Each structure stands twice: as structure tokens, then as C-alpha cells.
Amino acid sequence: MADPERVGRASYLLVFDGGSRGGRQLGFGSYLLETPEGRIGPIRRRYGPGVTNNQAEYLALLDGLRQLLVLLEESGRRKEEIDLEVRGDSRLVINQLAGRWRVRHPALRPLFDEARQMLAGFRQARLRWTPRAASVDILGH
């Protein structure tokens, strides 16, 4: 079923979430893609020890973007033709990518740079913060 908030707006939707827990900072993430052909996911990933919450958020976003780019290539679609809406409950990731907040932590810089590069070239890439409860509803955790 189509998301009523997206009708007539975005051709593709990417919802992401990441986290970290435990003394060894075990990172994990998940994402979901909604395409004109249907829904993919949620896809869950484990990033292992030494991954902070913010790194896991970026890694989940990057995994979703990578899969989206593969799908576009396989379908013969070009980024320039695509409207993308990205939703996440990480204020840090959304605000950094939107240019409202600076990237201060050196470990986040390469993740930020890769995400910005992957988002470049879409006809439109809309970044939207959503409450944690919305991510849980969509991703199931």
C-alpha cells in the first residue's frame, strides 16, 4: 500500500536506522526501500564491535543507498530522473546531510562524504527527520 504522505511526491523512499549497544559497542542497522515496483525490506545488518550509534546510522543509510543504486542500474533508470525521500530518526545524520549541522567527529567525515556523494545527482533528494516511533513502525525494531 502506498504511503499517503508520498503520493505524488517521491518516486523512491529509503527509511534507515542504526544503533549501538553493549560495552564493546556492537553496531547494527536496518533499512527499507519503497520503489515503484514494491517494498524491499526491512533489511538488517550487523556492523560488529567498535561502531558507535552515529556510525551505525550512517552505515545503515549507506547500505540502503548502495542497494538503491544497484536497483536503478539494473532497471536502466538514471539518478537524474528519480525523486528520493530519505527518512531517519537520527537528527545528527539528517541535519549534517542537509547542511544545517557541521561534521565535527573525524570518524563520521568519510561516512558523511560518501553519503553526500551518493545523494548527489538525484533529481531531488529530500531528507526528512522522523520520530523514533515512526522508524520502529516501519522497520520493526
Which of 141, 120, 139 shows the shortest CA–CA distance to 14?
139
Instruction: Give pLDDT tens digits for 59-88.
Output: 999 999 999 999 999 999 999 999 999 999
Instruction: Give pLDDT tens digits for 4-28.
Output: 444 444 599 999 999 898 666 789 9
Cα–Cα distance, 90 to 1 (Å, whole number): 25
Is the pTM above the cut of 0.75?
yes
Q: CA distances (Å), 127 to each of 26, 32, 74, 99, 100, in order?
A: 26, 15, 24, 11, 12
Instruction: Give pLDDT tens digits for 80-116.
Output: 999 999 999 999 999 999 999 999 999 999 999 999 9
User: Could you give all domains of the chain from N- to C-terminal order, each with its CATH number?
Assistant: 12-139 (3.30.420.10)
C-alpha grid cell for residue 92? 545528527
